[in-house]
């Protein structure tokens, strides 16, 4: 296995040893609450200016910007689904958000990337289900693109989310 999938508790805006972080953005890409707001605040106003030129992002898609005042080089913005009970293609859209973020990374030669828990904040996707989708999608992508990704790190804000992702990563390895 030529890649690592890691889980840590922390602040994704403080990642300084990976090339890119993923922003769990809204469709406008113009900032919001949670991870999105924290990334925009930490990156500075230049990030917002560049995001304005991208004209938004559809759910499940991903777009790349510079990282500006952040310690990494790039921010990959993706929009996860809003949870509506599980019958509105939420799982497919969440898979797309992770897969398309990794696809953007590979297209730009980015080999190390950090993800937050996409859609589990104000979008209310159940954390345990989201963690399994994330871990499974990342593993499958890395297997299909061997030697293109070195590290995928889930940087998670609280102990409950960390536990869910650590469990999901353990599950996919067995």
* Residue 2 φ/ψ, nearest 5 degrees: -95, 15
pLDDT digits (tens, 9 = 90+) for 117-166: 999 999 999 999 999 999 999 999 999 999 999 999 999 999 999 999 99
Q: Which of 11, 36, 147, 150 is catalytic?
A: 36
Number of structural domains in the chain: 1
pTM score over 0.85: yes
Q: Range of 79's domain? A: 4-173
The radius of gyration of the chain's CA atoms, rounded to the nearest angstrom, is: 15
CATH number of the domain within which 136 lies:
3.40.220.10
Distance CA 149, CA 111 (A): 4
Has 36 been annotated as catalytic? Answer: yes
Above 70 in pLDDT, residue 1? no
* Residue 156 φ/ψ, nearest 5 degrees: -115, 140
pLDDT digits (tens, 9 = 90+) for 23-72: 999 999 999 999 999 999 999 999 999 999 999 999 999 999 999 999 99
pLDDT digits (tens, 9 = 90+) for 59-114: 999 999 999 999 999 999 999 999 999 999 999 999 999 999 999 999 999 999 99
């Amino acid at each position: 296995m030529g890649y690592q999938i890691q889980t840590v508790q922390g602040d994704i805006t403080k990642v300084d040893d990976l090339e890119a972080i993923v922003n769990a953005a809204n469709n406008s890409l113009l900032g919001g609450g949670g991870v999105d707001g924290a990334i925009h605040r930490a990156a500075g106003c230049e990030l917002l200016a560049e995001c304005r030129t991208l004209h938004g992002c559809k759910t499940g898609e991903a777009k790349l910007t510079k990282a500006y005042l952040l310690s990494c080089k790039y921010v990959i913005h993706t929009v996860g689904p809003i949870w509506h009970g599980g019958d509105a293609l939420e799982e497919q859209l969440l898979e797309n958000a992770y897969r398309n973020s990794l696809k953007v990374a590979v297209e730009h030669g980015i080999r190390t990337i950090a993800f937050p828990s996409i859609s589990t904040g104000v979008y209310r996707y159940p954390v345990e289900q989201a963690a399994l989708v994330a871990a499974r999608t990342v593993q499958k992508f890395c297997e299909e693109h061997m030697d293109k990704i070195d590290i995928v790190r889930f940087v998670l804000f609280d102990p409950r989310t960390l536990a869910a992702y650590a469990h999901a990563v353990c599950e996919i390895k067995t």
